[in-house]
Amino acid sequence: MKAGVVVFPDSNCDRDVMVALRAASGGEPVVLWHKESSVPPLDLIVLPGGFSYGDYLRPGAMAAHSPIMRAVKERATAGTPVLAICNGFQVACEAGLLPGALLRNASLKYVCRDVHLRVEQSQTVFTARYAQGQVVRIPVGHHDGNYVADAATLDRLEGEGRVAFRYVTPEGEPTAGANPNGSARNIAGVFNETRTVLGLMPHPERLADIRLGGTDGRAMFESLVEALA
Amino acid sequence: MKARVHITLKDGVLDPQGKAIGDSLRRIGYTSVSGVRQGKLIELDIDEKDRRRAAAEVERMCKDLLANPVIESYAIELDGVG
């Protein structure tokens, strides 16, 4: 699998995700600088976490208009899988690759802790190594992760099986207490129409090695390698 | 020409910052406050003397970058020559 990781000014999870990709694939990801206007042939594009452009205007808004994103959108439209994590999810929404938007957390607090997620859709290149309905533990670290979309959009996402992950209790219940940021319907991640773009606020790359305290994130990178290698 | 763009969260979109401001105002005695919405103001200097063209240009800026139509609405105010 040949993966490319986009780096914006103030991306800060690009190296972490490259470690996880390397561990899963054995291959070396390429770095895609935000000022570049084309991307080489790739099997996967990653939009990593961070605070691109200092979160000015709105998180992800400036990055969504950087030169590299025009090329990323073209590739995504042509079917190249895009994994958009945390700030990458915000960028993908701002760029129109995914529906909805991410607002300030309902608590107004930055939240940084492990959360439990239920795998809502395991029939994708990102999630094939997870079981449908499996509960996994993955960290979040964000100030603006409150997913919103209008009711019609949310209904469509649910109806089309495009909710990827939901915040749940360790027992798998999507309660208000299990929701770290106020997201609509406890949604932690969504797919585009073809399920080739995944955006999620939690960081699978941060628990993809036992030395980091857990490995629940590893299956996402293994799923991608299996599907795209 | 100067343009001011007022950006606010759409009706129905939860505004936790506005809510926190309202809670604070009531706590310090301003009990008449029944709602607060927080927005932002963007001031632009535009090299354009024609009012209509300036308005159309700012409208495009709002759609392209300044506002996110999923969550925000905007109002444009122009002043200066014209």
Q: How far apart are CA A25 and CA A4, in angstroms?
A: 13
Q: What is the mean pLDDT of residues B22-32?
A: 97
Instruction: Please list, in sequence order, all residues whose beta carbon lies within 8 angstroms of the beta carbon of residue B24, skipping any fewer than 6 positions away.
Output: none
Q: What is the mean pLDDT of residues B47-66?
A: 95
Span A206-221, pLDDT tens digits: 999 999 999 999 999 9
Q: Are residues A104 and B68, on separate chains, in Cβ contact within 8 Å?
A: no
Q: Are residues B16 and A105, on separate chains, in Cβ contact within 8 Å?
A: yes
Question: Has residue B14 got a pLDDT over 90?
Answer: no
pLDDT beneath 50: ranges in chain A: none
- Most B CBs within 10 Å: which of A58, A93, A109, A179, as the mutation test of the B interface? A58
Closest-approach residue (CA) in chain B for A59? B68
- β-strands A187-191, A197-200 pairing: antiparallel
Query: Does A108 contact B at CB distance below 8 Å?
Result: yes
Domain-wise residue ranges, chain B: 2-79
Residues of B with CB under 8 A from a CB of A: 9, 13-14, 16-17, 20, 64-66, 68, 70-71
CATH for the stretch B2-79: 3.30.1280.10
Q: Are residues A65 and B20, on separate chains, in Cβ contact within 8 Å?
A: no
Q: How far apart are CA A57 and CA A105, in angstroms?
A: 16
- Name which of A187-196, B11-20, B26-35, B49-58 the model is least confident about: B11-20
Is A205 in the active site? Answer: yes
Q: Tell me the domains of chain A and their CATH numbers.
A: 3-228 (3.40.50.880)
Is A13 in the active site? Answer: no
- Most A CBs within 10 Å: which of B70, B72, B73, B74, as the mutation test of the A interface? B70
ipTM of this complex prediction, to 2 decimal places: 0.85
What's B13-70 look like in SS3? CCCHHHHHHHHHHHHCCCCCCCCCCCEEEEEEECCCCCHHHHHHHHHHHHHHHHCCCC
Q: Are residues A61 and B68, on separate chains, in Cβ contact within 8 Å?
A: yes
The per-residue pLDDT for B82 is: 46
Distance from CA of A51 to the nearest CA of B (A): 17
The 10 Å CB-count burial string (b at 16+, else e) for A49-60 is: bbbbbebebbbb
The per-residue pLDDT for A149 is: 96
Q: How far apart are CA A65 and CA A78, in angstroms?
A: 19
For all residues of chain B together, what is the average pLDDT?
93
What predicted TM-score, i.e. pTM, was given to this entire model? 0.94
Q: How far apart are CA A61 and CA A101, in angstroms?
A: 11
The per-residue pLDDT for A25 is: 81
Is A65 in the active site? Answer: no
pLDDT band at B81 (very low <50, low <70, confident <90, very high): low
The per-residue pLDDT for A222 is: 96
Tokens of B59: 């409208």
Q: How far apart are CA A57 and CA B66, in angstroms?
A: 7
